[in-house]
C-alpha cells in the first residue's frame, strides 16, 4: 500500500450543529457556556460560537428563509469539557436544560448528557 502525505490536517477545525431556530440555539449554547448573548449578533444562516480553543462550533440553520428540519442524533455529537462534573451538573439543572443521563463516573473521566433545543445529545465530560 502506497503511503503519501495527506494535505488534510490531523485536527478538527469546526463542528457544525444543525439547528432549526438559530436565535433560540445561539442563546441556549451561549447560556450553556456562560457567554454573554447579544441577539443582534445572530445573523442567518449561521452563528459562530466564541470558543476558547482552535476547534470551533458553528450553529447552522440551513438555507436562508427556510426553516431547517433537524433530525436529532440519538448519540452525543461532541462534548464540552469541564473540570468539575458535579458543579456542571448543578449548573445545567439551574438552567432547566433537559438532562438525558445521570453522571457516569470512571476512574479517569466522568460525563453526563443533555439535549439541545433540537434534541441533539451533547456530552459534558471530564478527562
* pLDDT, tens digit only, all 127 positions of the chain: 677 887 777 888 899 999 999 999 999 999 999 999 999 999 999 999 988 888 899 999 999 888 889 999 889 989 999 999 999 999 999 999 999 999 999 999 999 999 999 999 999 999 7
C-alpha cell of residue 99: 438532562
Q: Dihedral, CA atoms, 114, 116, 121, 126, nearest 10 degrees?
A: -50
What per-residue confidence (pLDDT) applies to 1? 65
How much is the pTM? Answer: 0.87
In degrees, rounded to 5, the angle at the alpha carbon of residue 18 between the alpha carbons of residues 115 and 28 is 45
Amino acid at each position: 500500500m502506497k503511503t503519501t502525505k495527506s494535505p488534510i490536517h490531523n485536527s478538527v477545525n469546526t463542528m457544525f450543529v444543525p439547528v432549526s431556530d438559530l436565535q433560540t440555539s445561539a442563546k441556549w449554547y451561549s447560556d450553556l457556556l456562560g457567554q454573554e448573548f447579544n441577539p443582534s449578533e445572530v445573523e442567518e444562516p449561521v452563528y459562530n460560537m466564541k470558543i476558547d480553543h482552535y476547534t470551533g462550533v458553528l450553529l447552522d440553520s440551513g438555507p436562508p428563509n427556510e426553516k431547517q428540519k433537524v433530525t436529532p442524533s440519538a448519540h452525543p455529537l461532541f462534548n464540552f469539557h469541564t473540570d468539575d462534573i458535579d458543579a456542571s451538573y448543578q449548573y445545567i439543572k439551574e438552567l432547566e436544560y433537559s438532562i438525558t443521563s445521570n453522571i457516569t463516573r470512571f476512574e479517569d473521566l466522568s460525563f453526563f448528557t443533555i439535549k439541545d433545543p433540537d434534541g441533539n445529545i451533547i456530552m459534558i465530560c471530564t478527562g
